[in-house]
Structure 1
Amino acid sequence: MLQRVQTIYLFLAFAATGILPFFIPLWTMADAKAYLFMHNQVYVVLFGLSTTLSILSIISYNKRQNQFVMGRLNIILNLILLGLFVYRSLNLSGETPAVSEKGIGMFLPVVAIVLLVLANKAIKKDEDLVKSVDRLR
């Protein structure tokens, strides 16, 4: 059952939190150095947990209810990560010596949240379909 649409959404969420942060900087420092997520341990832990939840959710395709709960937890985790990014960007303006330009990497949690919401929607649709078929028996 790995060919379901929610697996594609979960894999794309895995890519947004597990692969892309290595290549897309969160912001650029004033000396033109890219600030990747690896420079802050909190970001590493949150991105790692989000990636792990996505993988676990893909693997547990037989247990749709657990998959749905893991998707919800992953959404909450990405909201926390997004909140940390917004807090950091609001505390440091664009013209301070520490940060000169915000990067596109700060929007990776938003992409992951949208993909996880779509995956949860598809999981719910599958669960409703299974319940309706069980009702007919």
Structure 2
Amino acid sequence: MLQRIQTVYLILAFVVSGVLPFMFPLWTENSKAVYFMQSSLYAIFFGLSTTLALLAILTFKKRQQQFVINRLNMILNLILLGLFLYHSLNLSGGANVPEKGIGMFLPIVSIVFLVLANKAIKKDEDLVKSVDRLR
């Protein structure tokens, strides 16, 4: 399980969506950092993304199912990114100018790791199919 590169990519996606949101603020309003936990919608999406990454890690024997779970996780992260984009475009630009935090880019990093994992899963699946043809 851990010797496969896609498991490493999935563990990194798990860390990006499950651990790093606690460390990096999403944005700053009135000199106060806003983390994802202060909005239940973002917490739900980050939690679902973390759960899907963990589920994909645990289904290492079923490559097709792992591939589909990663695709669902990518769609979920794209929705999360869209919510961040919508919120950042609707931030008020008054005297206290809100600043965007690095936490808003976490779904992009997670999507990159999920794409790399899917590429490695596809490579494994092609290898297994080619060996089956030789039998």
**What range describes the TM-score normalised by the shorter chain of this pair?**
over 0.9
Segments of 5+ residues of structure 2 without an aligned counterpart are: none
Task: Point out where structure 1 has 5 or more consecutive residues left out of the alignment.
Answer: none
Structure 1 distance, partners of 2:95, 2:82, is 23
Distance 1:6 1:96 in 2: 45
Corresponding residue for residue 19 of structure 1: 19
Aligned length: 135
Separation in 1 of the partners of 2:9 and 2:79? 20
Please report the RMSD computed on the Cα atoms of aligned residues, expressed in angstroms. Answer: 1.2
Which residue, out of 106, 109, 117, partners 1:108? Answer: 106
- Measured after TM superposition, the shift of residue 96 of structure 1 is 3.1
CA contact (8 A) 2:91 2:98 kept: no
**Identity fraction in percent:** 69
Query: Secondary structure, in 3 states, of the residue corresponding to 1:3?
Result: coil
TM-score, normalised to structure 2's length? 0.96
Change (3 A) 1:25 1:53: same
- 1:93-104 to 2 correspondences below 5 Å: 93=92, 95-96=93-94, 100-104=98-102
CA contact (8 A) 1:25 1:105 kept: yes
Q: Give the Cα–Cα distance (whole angstroms) in 2 for the partners of residues 8 and 17 of structure 1.
A: 14
